Structure 1
Amino acid sequence: MKTPLELLLPYQGSWVADNARFKAGIWSRQVGKDFSSNAEIVVDCMSNPKTTWMIAAPSERQAVESLGKSREWSEAFQFAIENEVEERAFEGALLKSAEIHYPNGSRIIAVPGKPDTVRGFSANILLTEFAFFEDPDATWKAILPSITNPLRGGEKKARLISTPNGKGGRGKRFYEIVRDNLLEPKQGRKTKWSVHKVTIEDAVRYGLPVDIDELRDGIDDPIAWAQEFECEFIDSSNVLLPYDLIETAESFEATESRDSSWWDMAGRAGGEIFLGIDFGRISDPTVCWTLEKVGDVLWTREVLVLKGMSTVDQFALLTSRFKACRKAVLDYTGGGIGLGDLAVDSFGEWKPQDHKLNGKVELANFTANLKAEIFPRLRRAFEAPCSVRIPVSVPIREDLHAMEQVVRGGSYSYVAPRTAEGHSDRCTALALAVRAADCPSAIVMPRAAGARRRMGRNSNRGLVG
């Protein structure tokens, strides 16, 4: 008789069948780490009543998504779910826990991977993307007593799954586990881990239907490809904005939207309004983040997200915001060139090195040097004394938290995983808005929308959409 486990590819089935108490998976992205691990969890909960598993991940989004895989496997096995609960201090606050309860007394708990959220649970554990936790060492130390104390429900199992995240920093503990048990095995270790390594090439060889060349071209980043798909360990990586730092900037007085009348009023009043615009067209959205400077604090007034909208339509919607602002910094790469040209033609360019000081729009080419300027500056805005205020919002919090500072060979870069929601587009837009507020331009009367510059340049050069 066939079982749902027959859905697994050979390398996934080997992972589920491995009953080692301590098990680590160094797996490429998109090869089924959580899918396979949650199969093992659900089978254990079915077979052993009153079993508890805890899933922890670097972000609440990842923890909840992983828990969703358990829900899918429960349906596949026709293992009824008695109820589901979610706990937050208040609506929009960071998740405390999400749980699935079964009639046989088993349960699965999902939490963000922070020391204070994992401490105290007596459970088997799945730490997904463990190398990307804010503080893996502190989290591991907080959870270790609950899985090593046999008096608290018997012996517990530990599952660590992750892509690599460097040899130092947050990725150090995961790297050392893989090194000491797989790459350079050390004899006589008291805790032995069963380590499974699966690169994207391994997964495709065993039947994963992925076009490797197409995927590599889409990533277009050798460092990211080596780390996330070939399971290589780079030097180090750290989250740009930890949850605790984001929390200090959250305020219910910061807002995500404003009606049209506010923009008209702000423009007439000559307020200290600044825009950061990260352009997107097909895969990612365009995000326009609006800050208003009140005293020494930058208050978020709007986080506008535009999906699947042509460049012309985006510009039409953004025109009232350009009119109201003192300065806008706009992503001038790829499709953003078209939007940038339209904005400069109507509101003038701000480019001090070319003695252009009366325009509103700074065109930002996304070079490594620019990233090395805007993202550390954004981090400083969140540090004490915090000079920026953002809305209390799960999507915003998750987007900001996803941005990584990566070090390889002494070079710094800033990357974020691509998800269905985008590519940390809100974080980039906020970084650009903070840059706009650092160097405000002179207020000028805008030219009529659609006007062309006298030099004869076509205002639609580079326009897409």
Structure 2
Amino acid sequence: MASSSPAITLYPYQQKWLQDESRFKIGMFARQTGKTFTSTLEIVMRCMEAEAIGRKERWVILSRGERQAKEAMDEGVKRHLKAFQMGFEALEYEYEGSFKALEVTMPGGSRITALPANPDTARGFSASVFLDEFAFHQDSRKIWQALFPVISAGHRLRVVSTPNGKGNKFYDLMTASDDAWSKHVVDIYEAVRQGLPRDVEGLRRALNDPDGWAQEFELQWLDEASAWLSYDLISACEHEGAGFSDLYQGGPCFVGNDIARRNDLWVAWVLEQVGDVLWTREIVALKRATFAEQDAVMDELFKHYKIVRWAMDQTGMGEKPTEDAQRRHGESRVEGVLFTATNKQNLATLGKQAFEDRKIRNPMGDPEIRNDLHKLRKVTTAMGSIRFEADSDSAGHADRAWACFLAIYAASGNPGPLDFEIAWERQTEPLLAGFF
């Protein structure tokens, strides 16, 4: 393959990836090291070379969602084509009536299409394929099963990602002991050593999340055994349409509210019920906000959404905010929940079931939300009892996770407020009874 344009600066690890002619090629790269940029450059160059000798190339880019597919097309493919001063025609259309496809056609007929990944889009073409951030694709194993007939007729396959736990096909491919794949691994330290201009220590301090740093920059396969929600489970419930208040459909809403005043976060997590699925419409996180400011946010949310039930942390300092909220909005709509060990276990169990059953949709690609949900751990004490722990850092103390679980509980159909110090501790049926 011809060398790249002098106007494009490539670091040695990018050049190595670009010059690797293997049919099956997989790369595990740290975040923001240019993996998508380099992979789309290879696609464009292969198309240009084919057209120079009168052939056509057909490539499909499968990304984790429509936003990521658009980014690969706009910031990758189109950017490279313009840099090479290559003419092309851009097209956008509905694929199979459900997905937005972005496509460019070059003068000689070569085509590059970018789509959100799922088993249906994976099997719809005969082409070379680029799987972008494959570890974060929902149903990655089903996508993989659907994909191989697509590339069986001599086409190429490119797979790149950062790690996302061990429960996905990307982990299987990277850790398999075989020589079918040409494998590239570049963590943040190696990328910087080869010239990438990044302040490693500055990034680490700014992230302030050891697990997030280990996974996304050091490329470690995190031990998911103690995590209550695995990264794979969290990613499977992410959706591009979640997290936007302007997409609220006017349906019944349920809110979970974790209370804090100084060190941790005050979080209100708003869920709208659409059919049998709970869609996250808004997540408000405040740090060191006054109680008056917290009350003002709560009142605004009550005005904007049709809130059927608001479940809030009544523990400790939450007593007065709960009492005040019930006075303003009614005890039938505001419920206080004491965070006893039993209650936390019931809330966590209820929340996990919603994730396992895919009954919740959360914002896609938000590292703060993902890491907060993942940091909650189930711990068995020496006496055999269960407790839930989370490291406290600048991003909170799993405050978003508890707000999410409270919102799921609020939507679970529980008939009314409970005396959590007495009634809940005596109950024989778990909260999960009657869920959805």
User: Which TM-score band applies after superposition, normalised by the shorter structure?
Assistant: 0.5 to 0.7
Q: CA deviation at 1:143?
A: 1.8
- In the other structure, the counterpart of 1:231 is 219
Closer/same/farther in 2, CA of residues 199 and 80 from structure 1, 3 Å limit: same
Q: CA deviation at 1:128?
A: 1.5
- In the other structure, the counterpart of 1:240 is 233
Distance in 2 (CA, whole Å) between partners of 1:383 and 1:109 is 32
| Cα contact 1:21–1:158 (8 A) shared by 2 | yes
Distance in 2 (CA, whole Å) between partners of 1:206 and 1:101 is 35
Secondary structure at the residue paired with 1:7?
A: coil
Deviations 1:325-384 (A, max 9, x none): 54333699xxxx9xx7994473269xxxxxx9997455879x9x96x8656524534777
| Cα contact 1:328–1:361 (8 A) shared by 2 | yes
- In the other structure, the counterpart of 1:202 is 190
Distance in 1 (CA, whole Å) between partners of 2:374 and 2:273 is 31
| Cα contact 1:24–1:195 (8 A) shared by 2 | yes
- In the other structure, the counterpart of 1:160 is 159
Closer/same/farther in 2, CA of residues 315 and 211 from structure 1, 3 Å limit: farther
Closer/same/farther in 2, CA of residues 146 and 105 from structure 1, 3 Å limit: same
| Cα contact 2:30–2:216 (8 A) shared by 1 | yes
Distance in 2 (CA, whole Å) between partners of 1:407 and 1:291 is 25
Q: CA deviation at 1:82?
A: 0.8
| Cα contact 2:255–2:406 (8 A) shared by 1 | yes
Q: CA deviation at 1:310?
A: 10
1:289 pairs with 2:270 = yes
2:78 to 60, 71, 96: 71
- In the other structure, the counterpart of 1:87 is 94
| Cα contact 2:60–2:127 (8 A) shared by 1 | yes
Correspondences of 1:96-115 after superposition (within 5 Å): 97-115=101-119
TM-score w.r.t. length of structure 2:
0.66
Closer/same/farther in 2, CA of residues 198 and 292 from structure 1, 3 Å limit: closer
Secondary structure at the residue paired with 1:329?
A: strand
User: Residue type of the partner of 1:436?
Assistant: A
- In the other structure, the counterpart of 1:434 is 408
Q: CA deviation at 1:126?
A: 1.0
Distance in 2 (CA, whole Å) between partners of 1:75 and 1:341 is 60
User: Residue type of the partner of 2:270?
Assistant: W
User: 69-78 or 130-139: which moved more?
Assistant: 130-139
| Cα contact 1:127–1:160 (8 A) shared by 2 | yes
Closer/same/farther in 2, CA of residues 227 and 58 from structure 1, 3 Å limit: same
Distance in 1 (CA, whole Å) between partners of 2:15 and 2:284 is 41
Distance in 2 (CA, whole Å) between partners of 1:330 and 1:398 is 27
Deviations 1:186-233 (A, max 9, x none): 5xx5x3x22221110011112222221122223333232222211222
Q: CA deviation at 1:274?
A: 3.4
User: Residue type of the partner of 2:134?
Assistant: F
Distance in 2 (CA, whole Å) between partners of 1:403 and 1:79 is 39
1:148 pairs with 2:141 = no
Q: CA deviation at 1:289?
A: 0.9
- In the other structure, the counterpart of 1:347 is 325
Count of residue pairs the alignment pairs up: 371
Q: CA deviation at 1:433?
A: 1.2
- In the other structure, the counterpart of 1:51 is 57
| Cα contact 1:134–1:242 (8 A) shared by 2 | yes
Closer/same/farther in 2, CA of residues 194 and 2 from structure 1, 3 Å limit: closer
Closer/same/farther in 2, CA of residues 24 and 397 from structure 1, 3 Å limit: closer
TM-score w.r.t. length of structure 1:
0.62
Correspondences of 1:174-189 after superposition (within 5 Å): 174-177=173-176, 180=177, 189=179
Distance in 2 (CA, whole Å) between partners of 1:317 and 1:408 is 26
| Cα contact 2:27–2:159 (8 A) shared by 1 | yes
1:256 to 227, 245, 248: 248
User: 33-42 or 62-71: which moved more?
Assistant: 62-71
Deviations 1:406-444 (A, max 9, x none): 699998999xxxxxxxxx99998654311234564379x
- In the other structure, the counterpart of 2:132 is 128
Distance in 1 (CA, whole Å) between partners of 2:349 and 2:69 is 27
- In the other structure, the counterpart of 1:265 is none
User: 81-90 or 122-131: which moved more?
Assistant: 81-90
Percentage of matched positions with identical amino acids: 32
Closer/same/farther in 2, CA of residues 435 and 73 from structure 1, 3 Å limit: same
Closer/same/farther in 2, CA of residues 137 and 407 from structure 1, 3 Å limit: farther
Closer/same/farther in 2, CA of residues 298 and 38 from structure 1, 3 Å limit: closer
| Cα contact 1:28–1:200 (8 A) shared by 2 | yes
Closer/same/farther in 2, CA of residues 175 and 342 from structure 1, 3 Å limit: farther
